[in-house]
């Protein structure tokens, strides 16, 4: 007799928490319609655990919920991981973006306003999952509902919205691609929650030593400058003939005016230089580095170290690193191009210097992989340019392209970046002309996207993520005057070209984000299949009391645009490297179909992030 769970393994299951630990589950067909009435369960976490089944068994259900960011962390804390989900909030964002242009032109339906349903961290019990509603699921659907809506009403709303989304996905111009995008975006939300739980291995003692070496000992008082910053502030003031203060915020006195010159104040810095006979448009690095004045050196060093102290100093260390783990909160699709963002902590902007603090646990290693020259290769795959694709099959794309520019790799890089980002002046324009002649299909692809933007149209990524439509102000500025004798706003051309540069880059960067996302979620699935030979369970560092021990499987701990980090046992490293390579190849097939373009990965197995190539 066949396993009864196998018969329902491909179905979708809608999830709604109820009072206490209870909840509702409703099995759905592939079109989103319910197969039966919702079933009430006394322990929702246990019910999800049972239905999910063991990794490697029959395919697990696809869980349908309002937001993985709101629901999944509590499941993880209870030791429950799921393989697949449909994130209604993320799907709604993709569909709303796609439909925005249509709604603007013919008054199409306004997408349902999806509000998050979360599990209260303070009320959640690790072992059972005490679940509480924080706000209604769908405000328009449940308008006027009591403070805590009936779970069955919430379930009905969830089922309706989900079924509507499936219909809208199926009506896409390329439903297969768009369905892949929605599935990958939803799976990305699972990865984001899992990475936040696992955390980036972070040695607080190494971080503190790095700061001390650069800035001096940690100041005793809040707001006090570290010794090195105080010294540079004094040098800056002295360069104008002033005297340095004791390390307070003033940074010395201006010799002529007697007023304090604060290197943190752009206005005061500009005034100090002006008093010295040097008028500057700004205090940006590109401006200051060309100024011949003894104050420039200490000021530039001060600005660099002050930025580090502000963004990743001791306050950051106290706030974000607990138990030698940095746990940022990732925002899936937080950028219009589909790239991720982070909410606090600056996870996607870790300075190279501080990578010394990212150190694997004893007996573990970091597998760091980043895609080489991803965006130019994506353009080659998008355009189907045979000559460009042949060049992209090489290890160093720019070196291969250099043959079109007299063998100069630098010129090849300038030309390619100009094609993708819209530079056309000076040398860039000349090099771009060579690129157009040598690779007409690739050049034509991005130029068509630029024309669409200049004309106020929208463009889409390879899987269907849609760029924002132009604003009403943009349309008002760029539209032709009703009076044929009237003059067009002189800023209209500048605005059109700016939007053209945006859409030119969007088609490439967003398609690169598609590839990176599919690679990431494919890697997540592959890592669950790597065997863990008889190891004992491992409790996460700084885990709450009662948190179940985790098996010592490889875990994704970091993702940034085109780079991933996997934390794994040393003996698993070879298997992880192979999984990364297979995930990249699989993503290329899924996203671009048959293509001659190769997407190579630079992969390193290291104990410290800073040692990765």
Q: Following DSSP, what letter does each residue of 317-366 receive, concatenated?
A: HHHHEETTEE---EETT-STTS--EESSTTGGG--GGGGGG-BPPTTEEE
Residues 6+ apart with CB under 8 A from 209: none
Are the beta carbons of 148 and 164 closer than 8 angstroms?
A: no
Q: For residue 45, is it within any domain?
A: yes
Tokens at residue 266, please?
A: 């752009």
Q: For residue 187, is it within any domain?
A: no
Highest averaged pLDDT of the listed ranges 82-96, 375-389, 422-436: 82-96
Highest averaged pLDDT of the listed ranges 411-420, 475-484, 529-538: 411-420
* pLDDT at residue 576 greater than cutoff 90: yes
Name the residue with higher pLDDT: 552 or 66. Answer: 66
Tokens at residue 124, please?
A: 């959640």
* pLDDT at residue 150 greater than cutoff 60: yes
Q: Give the pLDDT mean for 482-504.
A: 74
Q: Give the pLDDT mean for 506-515.
A: 94
Name the residue with higher pLDDT: 237 or 428. Answer: 237
In sequence order, which ranges of 484-561 are alpha helices (DSSP H)?
492-527
Task: Please tell me whether residues 409 and 472 are part of one structural domain.
Answer: yes
Q: Is the dihedral of CA 526, 528, 531, 537 positive or negative?
A: positive
Q: For residue 505, is it within any domain?
A: yes
Percent of the chain predicted with pLDDT > 70: 80
- For the chain, give me the number of helices (H) and strands (E)? 21, 14
* pLDDT at residue 127 greater than cutoff 50: no
Task: Please tell me whether residues 571 and 442 are part of one structural domain.
Answer: no
Q: For residue 182, is it within any domain?
A: no
Task: Please tell me whether residues 483 and 523 are part of one structural domain.
Answer: no
Question: Which CATH number goes with the domain that contains 249?
Answer: 1.20.1060
Highest averaged pLDDT of the listed ranges 181-190, 366-375, 487-496: 181-190
Residue 226 phi/psi, 5° resolution? -60, 160
**Least confident span in 9-18, 281-290, 395-404, 593-602:** 395-404
Task: Please tell me whether residues 39 and 151 are part of one structural domain.
Answer: yes
Give the N- to C-terminal CA distance of the chain in Å, as an integer: 53
Q: For residue 229, is it within any domain?
A: yes
CA distance 553 to 543: 17
Task: Please tell me whether residues 106 and 56 are part of one structural domain.
Answer: yes
* pLDDT at residue 144 greater than cutoff 90: no
Q: Give the pLDDT mean for 26-41.
A: 94
Are the beta carbons of 167 and 500 closer than 8 angstroms?
A: no
Q: Give the pLDDT mean for 500-528.
A: 94
Residue 229 phi/psi, 5° resolution? -65, -40
**pLDDT score of 242:** 57
User: How confident is the prediction for the chain on average, in pLDDT?
Assistant: 82
* pLDDT at residue 546 greater than cutoff 50: no
Q: At what angle are helices 88-106 and 151-170 packed, to 10 degrees?
A: 60
Q: Give the pLDDT mean for 39-63.
A: 85
**pLDDT score of 478:** 80
Q: For residue 289, is it within any domain?
A: yes
Domain final residue, candidates 283, 316, 349: 316
Nearest in space to 180 (alpha carbons), one of 600, 586, 573: 586
**pLDDT score of 429:** 66
**Least confident span in 199-203, 211-215, 385-389:** 385-389
Name the residue with higher pLDDT: 385 or 106. Answer: 385
Task: Please tell me whether residues 337 and 300 are part of one structural domain.
Answer: no
**pLDDT score of 517:** 97
Tell me which residue range forms the domain holding 415: 374-510
Are the beta carbons of 359 and 206 closer than 8 angstroms?
A: yes
**pLDDT score of 350:** 87
Q: Summarize pLDDT for 53-90 with one digit per residue, the tens.
A: 776 556 789 999 999 998 899 999 999 999 999 999 99
* pLDDT at residue 159 greater than cutoff 90: yes
**pLDDT score of 147:** 61
Domain final residue, candidates 127, 144, 171: 171
**pLDDT score of 5:** 31
* pLDDT at residue 9 greater than cutoff 50: no
Q: For residue 65, is it within any domain?
A: yes
Q: Summarize pLDDT for 452-489 with one digit per residue, the tens.
A: 999 989 999 999 999 999 888 888 888 765 445 556 66
Name the residue with higher pLDDT: 104 or 266. Answer: 266
* pLDDT at residue 24 greater than cutoff 70: yes
Residues 6+ apart with CB under 8 A from 290: none
* pLDDT at residue 205 greater than cutoff 80: yes
Task: Please tell me whether residues 15 and 155 are part of one structural domain.
Answer: yes
The residue whose two tokens read 């005034």 is: 271
The residue whose two tokens read 């002006």 is: 274
Task: Please tell me whether residues 312 and 364 are part of one structural domain.
Answer: no
Q: For residue 179, is it within any domain?
A: no
* pLDDT at residue 109 greater than cutoff 60: no
Domain final residue, candidates 171, 190, 224: 171
**Least confident span in 59-68, 314-323, 344-353:** 344-353
Which pLDDT band, with edges at 50, 70 and 90, does 7 fall under?
very low
Nearest in space to 190 (alpha carbons), one of 392, 375, 5, 52: 52
* pLDDT at residue 137 greater than cutoff 60: no
Task: Please tell me whether residues 497 and 532 are part of one structural domain.
Answer: no
The residue whose two tokens read 């429950």 is: 80
Give the total number of structural domains in the chain: 4
- Considering all CA atoms of the chain, what is the largest pairwise distance in Å, rounded to the nearest integer? 94
* Rg of the chain (C-alpha set): 28
Task: Please tell me whether residues 588 and 482 are part of one structural domain.
Answer: no
Task: Please tell me whether residues 395 and 463 are part of one structural domain.
Answer: yes
**3-class DSSP assignment, residue 313:** coil
Task: Please tell me whether residues 211 and 167 are part of one structural domain.
Answer: no
Question: Which CATH number goes with the domain that contains 383?
Answer: 1.10.150.20
Tokens at residue 568, please?
A: 């794994």
Nearest in space to 461 (alpha carbons), one of 197, 174, 202, 268: 174
DSSP state of 279: -
Percent of the chain predicted with pLDDT > 90: 54
Nearest in space to 188 (alpha carbons), one of 269, 96, 72: 72
**pLDDT score of 487:** 60
């Amino acid at each position: 007799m066949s396993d009864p769970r196998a018969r329902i393994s491909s179905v979708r299951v809608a999830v709604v928490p109820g009072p206490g630990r209870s909840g509702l589950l409703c099995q759905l067909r592939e079109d989103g319609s319910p197969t039966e009435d919702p079933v009430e369960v006394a322990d929702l976490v246990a019910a999800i655990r049972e239905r999910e089944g063991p990794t490697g068994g029959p395919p697990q259900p696809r869980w349908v919920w309002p937001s993985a960011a709101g629901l999944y962390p509590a499941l993880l804390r209870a030791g429950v991981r799921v393989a697949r989900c449909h994130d209604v909030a993320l799907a709604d964002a993709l569909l709303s973006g796609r439909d925005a242009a249509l709604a603007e032109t013919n008054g199409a339906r306004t997408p349902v306003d999806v509000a998050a349903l979360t599990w209260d961290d303070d009320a959640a019990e690790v072992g059972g999952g005490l679940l509480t509603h924080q706000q209604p699921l769908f405000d328009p659907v449940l308008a006027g509902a009591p403070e805590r809506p009936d779970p069955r009403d919430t379930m009905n709303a969830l089922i309706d919205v989900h079924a509507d989304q499936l219909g809208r996905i199926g009506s896409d111009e390329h439903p297969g691609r768009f369905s892949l995008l929605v599935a990958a975006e939803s799976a990305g939300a699972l990865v984001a929650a899992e990475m936040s739980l696992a955390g980036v291995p972070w040695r607080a003692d190494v971080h503190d030593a790095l700061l001390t070496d650069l800035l001096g000992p940690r100041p005793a008082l809040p707001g006090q400058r570290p010794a090195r910053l105080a010294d540079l502030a004094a040098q800056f003031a002295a360069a104008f003939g002033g005297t340095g203060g004791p390390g307070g915020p003033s940074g010395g006195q201006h010799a002529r005016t007697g007023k304090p010159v604060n290197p943190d104040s752009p206005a005061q810095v500009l005034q100090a230089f002006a008093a010295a006979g040097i008028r500057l448009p700004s205090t940006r690095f590109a401006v200051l580095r060309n100024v011949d004045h003894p104050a420039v050196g200490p000021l530039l060093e001060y600005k660099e170290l002050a930025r580090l102290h502000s963004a990743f100093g001791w306050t950051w260390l106290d706030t974000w690193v607990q138990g030698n783990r940095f746990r940022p909160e990732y925002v899936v699709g937080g950028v219009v191009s589909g790239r991720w963002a982070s909410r606090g902590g600056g996870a996607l902007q870790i300075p190279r210097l501080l990578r010394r603090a990212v150190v694997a646990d004893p007996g573990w290693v970091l597998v760091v992989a980043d895609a080489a020259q991803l965006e130019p290769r994506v353009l080659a795959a998008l355009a189907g340019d045979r000559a460009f694709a042949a060049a992209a099959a090489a290890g160093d794309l720019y070196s291969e392209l250099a043959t079109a520019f007299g063998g100069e790799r630098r010129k090849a890089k300038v030309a390619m970046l100009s094609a993708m980002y819209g530079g056309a002046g000076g040398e860039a324009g000349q090099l771009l002309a060579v690129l157009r002649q040598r690779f007409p299909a690739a050049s034509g692809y991005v130029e068509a996207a630029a024309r669409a933007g200049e004309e106020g149209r929208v463009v889409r990524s390879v899987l269907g993520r849609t760029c924002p439509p132009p604003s009403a102000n943009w349309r008002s500025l760029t539209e032709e005057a009703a009076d044929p004798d009237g003059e067009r706003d002189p800023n209209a051309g500048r605005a059109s070209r700016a939007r053209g540069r945006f859409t030119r880059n969007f088609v490439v960067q967003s398609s690169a984000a598609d590839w990176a996302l599919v690679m990431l979620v494919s890697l997540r699935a592959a890592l669950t299949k790597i065997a863990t030979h008889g190891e004992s369970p491992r409790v996460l560092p700084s885990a709450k009391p009662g948190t179940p021990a985790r098996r010592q499987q490889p875990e994704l701990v970091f993702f940034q645009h085109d780079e991933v980090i996997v934390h794994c046992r040393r003996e698993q490293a070879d298997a992880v490297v192979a999984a990364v390579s297979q995930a990249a190849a699989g993503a290329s097939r899924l996203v671009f179909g048959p293509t001659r373009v190769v997407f190579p990965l630079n992969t390193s197995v290291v104990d410290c992030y800073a040692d990765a190539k």
